[in-house]
Structure 1
Amino acid sequence: MLFRRAVVYKYVVTLKNQNRRYLDILGLLLSIISIVCFTQELLRSQNVSVGYLLGTLAVLGFVIYNLTQQAKKRKVFYSRALLIAGLVWMKMPYFSWLLFVFVILALLEYQAKYAIEIGFSDNEIVINTMLRKRYNWTQFSNIVLKDGLLTLDFVNNRILQREVEDDEDDDADEDEFNAYCSHQLALHHNSASRQQ
């Protein structure tokens, strides 16, 4: 859980990360393209370059490992393969600037694959993304969790609607969460109107 402050969150809702599949495909494609380019450069050079050979074997090993883990329905990360590929790209006679692209992608992969958590406390709502976003209850007109879909309806007519992670939630939990949100919205909107 990413919430570490002393704030007690009555509810923490975890949203499904819809980007994980696309990030896995991107990591796989970049790894395969790197393997092909390294092998081509290895075959083209007259002397066997240990760097190209070890880089090709290491990236290929990580790709095979990740594919077997994916077949077992486990999470995979291509960051190690991308870091090694980036180091080998640095040695390549062309496109050596790809080192920076591969290192940045490798460093951002873990953060991009984390599921987003939304914490609901009596005072605020916090969306835990790369940059934590804090909202007051008065910034929302309605908050509903129904059939695994969380809807945050902002006062400025903006809507955030996302699927939540499957956690054996039954309808009683959704009803309890919706009652809590309705109570907090009414409480904070009433106190805000009294202050005006």
Structure 2
Amino acid sequence: MNEFVFTLKDTTKKAFNTFFWFLYCVHLLIAALMIGNTENPLQKKTAIVSFAFWIIATILYYFFKHKFRLFRFQLAMFAAMLAFWLIQYAWLPAIFCAVIIVFVLRVFAIKSTAAFSTSGILIIKSLFKKQYHWKEVDNVVLKDGLLSIDLKNNHLIQAEIDPEDTTNAAEFNNFCKAQLG
């Protein structure tokens, strides 16, 4: 076989989830502050409705999280945050929410992959891709679902492989040894 392609395990979801809950709490706090501090009746009404919606959505998610995917809940809440800021005529936070939505859709739509061929190694991690020629690589090993790429410039790349991947590790390791000479 002349080419091996692996799907890498996604390790960014925990950081994104933490970031989401932080922004979510900030939006709840801002809506609560707007309820108490704004003079404009439209803004006050919008803040009350948004605050109630976010609290109800959170309670529903908590009790039915086994039926919902967190990712869809997060996108729905970011869309609600975007709508909230657009109604409030706060353009900078609205643009910020829109950028986050686009960024999240882009990053999570692309699976991180590592492709090994006779011409070299191509690693694609969401927005970025990096190509290594075999002459830059000192050693490559796949063992127990962990892919290790040791570069000659003393950099080490390690990534977990998707557990559903059925590639024969011995065959892959032999291919890499043959490429390394």
Tell me which interval the TM-score lies in, with the shorter structure as reference length: 0.7 to 0.9
> How far apart, CA to CA, are the structure 2 residues paired with 1:100 and 1:39?
21
Deviations 1:79-132 (A, max 9, x none): 332233134235558x76333332222221234445411111222321112122
Gaps of 5+ in 2: none
Is 1:32 aligned to 2:29, yes or no?
Answer: no
Deviations 1:38-69 (A, max 9, x none): 13323544625453345435545654565567
Work out whether residues 69 and 75 of structure 1, in 8 Å CA contact, stay in contact via their aligned partners in 2: no
Is 1:125 aligned to 2:121, yes or no?
Answer: yes
Q: Over aligned residue pairs, what C-alpha RMSD do you find?
A: 3.2
Q: Which protein is richer in strand relative to its size? A: 2
> How far apart, CA to CA, are the structure 1 residues paired with 2:176 and 2:62?
42
SS of the residue aligned with 1:18? Answer: coil
Alignment: residue pair count: 176
Change (3 A) 1:133 1:81: same
Change (3 A) 1:80 1:140: same
Shift of 1:72: 5.8
> How far apart, CA to CA, are the structure 1 residues paired with 2:129 and 2:149?
16
Shift of 1:135: 2.1
Work out whether residues 127 and 133 of structure 1, in 8 Å CA contact, stay in contact via their aligned partners in 2: yes
Q: Percent identity?
A: 20
Work out whether residues 13 and 164 of structure 1, in 8 Å CA contact, stay in contact via their aligned partners in 2: yes
Is 1:116 aligned to 2:109, yes or no?
Answer: no
Gaps of 5+ in 1: 1-7, 187-196
The residue that corresponds to 2:177 in the other structure is 182
> How far apart, CA to CA, are the structure 1 residues paired with 2:122 and 2:58?
36
Report the TM-score, using the length of structure 1 for normalisation: 0.71
Change (3 A) 1:57 1:45: same
Deviations 1:143-175 (A, max 9, x none): 101111111111212111122221265xx8111
Deviation above 6 Å: which 4+ runs of structure 1? none
